Structure 1
Amino acid sequence: MMFKKIGMIAVALTVFFTTSVLAAGNPFADVPADHWAYEAVTELVSDGVLTGYDDMTLKGQREITRYEMAMMIARAMAAEKDVEVSTRDKQMIAQLAAEFSDDLNALGVRVACLEQQADVVQWNGKVEYTNKQARTSAAGRRSSNTLLLRLEPSAAIEPHWQVKARLEAAQELSQDETGTVRLERIYAQGDYDALQLTFGKLPLYTNEEGMLWDGQCSGAVASFGGGLKRQDGAVLTLLGGRLSPEELSPDFGIVSAEAADLYGINFDGTKNKILAGAGAYRLKNDSWDSAYFSAGNTAAIWSLHGAYRFTNRLRLSGAYAENTKAKSQDTAWQTELDYGTYRPEMQGSWQLYSAYRQLGESAAAAGTDDALHYGQKGWEVGAKYAPLKNVGVILKYGDGERIDSHQGIKQYFARVECFF
């Protein structure tokens, strides 16, 4: 494996540079074969930061000199200015530059203060304004206007591991109140060729596009498969942990503030234009109201989902889920047609969609619910647009009814989000 990584870097050097005469007489010592820099540069190649060759299976038998490694790092530093580079890759480049700063200086590459930058926490986030309105025949019109600040720091520990967090502060404008900062997530994440490990207070977004859960939980997640690095491939995910009552619908039989045990497994496979997957989840809380579940305190939910991409811009998806332990509203399903590609970092990008959803509250426990909520069914349409780079505008409209009472409800959702 080490020879493979050394070989990949050697081939990249051959393509990137035509400096064999200089390299042959370089004054620098070899980089030891077990040095962490080999894995770091190999990952930069895999992520597309360093490009220039196609055969990822070539193997070599020689070590890389410090001079050659410095040239690779200089190339990566230059790539940061020309291509989109992830926060993790930026941190990796900074660590490499700090490690080989003397060699880079010998090449005339300025690396002042990179030793400090390599350890600096990277910050991303957004500010968003959200307006929600709901109209029903019984309750009339209700609305909210919310400002939210989200900060997402991350820091690389070593080439494979990093720590991440999410802090949020929300303020309801109609109350002119002072928002409270909450630590929503904090976790460690390890990324390898076909393995991803996550531990802590981590994201929970189920693979049927968030129909069941769109939030966070405390625990551990392990994902395996080639689909982690490639567009085509399969991924198997195992998860286990604890789920706060805040991450479940109020009508889920909750009668106390105790967290529930959560275990799950899901699978996703993508081949060409087709995506298919399945999931199974088990929740247990001894304090749940037995009136909601046949087993008294246990929920068992399974799901199926799929999607077909007709073109790069047109996609049809669908999902179905059932809680086999629930006594009512035990199923949830949705189908959605999307056209366009919305990416807030790309000015002018946009997307339109139309969907029908039936979100039984015992199955769709706490999914994405911007325009239709758990316990409701109906049509939803929406549009997303990026008028400026890193600025997005999202509009959604839901026209449906309560599943239990058939009471009609219309809901409007508007958001402006600015990323940084």
Structure 2
Amino acid sequence: MKRQTAMALAAVFAMSVAGTALAAPANPFVDVPAKHWAYDSINKLAQAGVISGYGDGTYKGDRTLTRYEVATIVAKAMANSDKADAASKREIEALKAEFGTELNNLGVRVDNLEKNASKVKFTGEIRERYEWVDNAATSGTTKGDKTDIRTRVRISMTAPIDENVTFKGRFHSESEAGSATDSEAKIDQAYITGKVGGLGYSFGRQPILLGQKLLSNNTQYNDGLSLSAGKDIKVTAFAFKKEDKYGKKDTAGDAVKENLNFAAGNIDFKVNKNLNITASYIADKDEIYYKSAAAGLKYTGLKDFTVTGEYGENDSYTANKNNGDAAQAWVGRIKYKGATSKVHSYGLYVSYRNAETGFDPVNWNDFTDMATWNGGIKEMDNIKGVDYGFEYALFKNGIMRIQYNDMDDEKTGNIDKSNMFAELIYTF
């Protein structure tokens, strides 16, 4: 009995309390002194709803638990087994077998409980964003500012299919304030990920993230397959298709949608706990728009600072048709701290980017989550300048971010491409 009881309490505590910041409530049991060695653990278990004591407000920790009382604790552990690690899950399986009779008598049908428990986890994000762009971008003469307000909702889902297979999906909806036509609502991710031996795979509509994101930070509408292997040196290969709506134009000058087939690769080398070096490559099938390679790094060895940088070249037909040379680009960023779900946490960052004409010819990459700004400004094509950003957690899971981009065209430096955004992102 003592062994099974200890196992039950350990499993429940691991699932319900470990890794979770629970503020200690007022003493829920009059017979548990504040100086008792188990005071904090008992309070946390009570706050998590795992134990409730007796009706007279006592805990009676010196008396022996009955099998039914232990079974009640096991039932609560079973109901929260999705929070357990592998070791705790094994303990729960053993406890289910040991206390099966008591669980059934308590009305806890083991098989039905497992069958009816939801295995799909949902998380979400709501973003309200204000954008401002200096309308000098296309002509070189100021015509007036442009502003835009956009609302974005994303619902992500994760569902285990088998021990080593997981489904992931995301619903994406974004709309412009006051517009009935400028909006979209689609499933932009739906893929299966898993492992076979030492090889990881991902198949379906999935995000494509390469290096330090100079070549690709694209999370939407990429349909294909990726394979990966390695730990400290992780190698990933991609083959996928993506719809392009910016490249080709018809005789009237309007954009024509076409499907582009891509191949990509990424190497992430973890030199030590503070330094990662990356190398990446991406090209469309005929190398019309992209034949790009990049090398970058991420360093976290300075207290509270993160330093990232990356250099890349695009040697495709579109990129070098004007002067015969590959289009070059490089970026660097220093960030101090960073806003998290913790209230009043904050971050400051400054970055520089410089991209020649043709580096991202069809606005494919969302380098800073906004591939094309209102007014036709491309984030990583014929542009250079400094970004200044500030982020702050206004409330739990609610982060405000403000970024001003002091930009000019890279080719002449005479066209003002300054822009900024302010946004509030709430995650749940």
Task: Give the aligned partner of residue 387 of structure 2.
Answer: 380
- Give the counterpart of 1:302 among 289, 293, 306: 293
Letter in 1 for 2:330: W
Q: Is the 8 A contact 1:71 1:104 kept in 2?
A: no
Structure 1: segments with no counterpart, 5+ residues: 1-16, 24-40, 50-69, 227-232, 286-294
Given that residues 119 and 155 in structure 1 are in contact (C-alpha distance below 8 angstroms), is that contact kept between their aligned partners in structure 2?
A: no
Tell me: CA distance 1:417–1:71, structure 2 relative to 1, closer, same or farther (3 Å).
same
Distance 1:314 1:22 in 2: 43
Distance in 1 (CA, whole Å) between partners of 2:152 and 2:86 is 27
Number of aligned residue pairs:
337
Q: Which residue of 1 aligns with 2:406?
A: 399
> How far did residue 210 of structure 1 move?
4.8
Aligned to 2:130, what secondary structure does the other structure show? strand
Shift in CA distance, 341/155, structure 1 to aligned 2, threshold 3 Å: same
Match of 1:115 in 2: 114
Task: Check whether the contact 1:318–1:334 (CA below 8 A) recurs between aligned residues.
Answer: yes
State the AA in 1 paired with 2:154.
Answer: R
Gap change, CA 1:116 and 1:78, over 3 Å in 2: closer
Tell me: CA distance 1:315–1:257, structure 2 relative to 1, closer, same or farther (3 Å): same
Q: In the TM superposition, what is the alpha-carbon distance from 1:208 to its structure 2 partner?
A: 1.6
1:19 is the counterpart of 2:3:
yes
Secondary structure of 2:178's partner? helix
1:213 shift after superposition? 3.6
C-alpha deviations, 1:97-134, integer Å up to 9, x for none?
Answer: 79986656557699676334434432111111011101
User: Aligned residue for 1:38?
Assistant: none
**Compared CA separation, residues 116 and 174, structure 1 to 2 (3 A):** same
Alignment TM-score, normalising by the size of structure 2: 0.67
The C-alpha deviation readout for 1:67-98, integer Å capped at 9, x for no partner, is xxx99997686687xxxx5xxx7999999979
Q: Kindly tell me: are residues 235 and 117 of structure 1, through their superposed partners in 2, closer, same or farther at Cα, counting changes over 3 Å?
A: farther
Q: Which amino acid aligns with 1:174?
A: G
Amino acid at match of 1:224: A
Give the whole-Å Cα distance in 1 for the aligned partners of 2:101 and 2:279: 55
In 1, Cα distance between equivalents of 2:408 and 2:338: 30
Post-superposition shift, 1:317? Answer: 1.3
Q: What residue in structure 2 maps to residue 266 of structure 1?
A: 266
Distance 1:402 1:78, change over 3 A: same
Assess, with a 3 A threshold, how the Cα gap between structure 1 residues 116 and 97 changes in structure 2: closer, same or farther.
Answer: farther
Deviation at 1:404, TM superposition (A): 3.4
Which position in structure 2 is the counterpart of 1:219?
224
Is 1:358 the counterpart of 2:354? The answer is yes
Change (3 A) 1:332 1:173: same
Residue 416 of structure 1 and its aligned partner are, at CA, apart by 0.5
TM-score by length of 1: 0.68
Q: 1:178 to 1:409 in 2, by over 3 A?
A: closer
Measure how far apart 1:255 and its partner are: 6.6
Task: Identify which range, 111-120 or 205-214, moves more after superposition.
Answer: 111-120
Alignment CA distance shift 1:282-1:73 (3 Å):
farther
Larger radius of gyration: 2
Superposed, 1:26-41 pairs within 5 Å as: none
For residue 155 of structure 1, give the secondary structure of its aligned residue in structure 2: strand
Q: How far is 1:309 from its partner?
A: 1.7
Q: Look up the SS of the partner of 2:423 in the other structure.
A: strand
Aligned 1:15-164 pairs, distance under 5 A: 19=3, 114-135=113-134, 136=136, 137-164=141-168
Q: Identity of aligned pairs, percent? A: 17
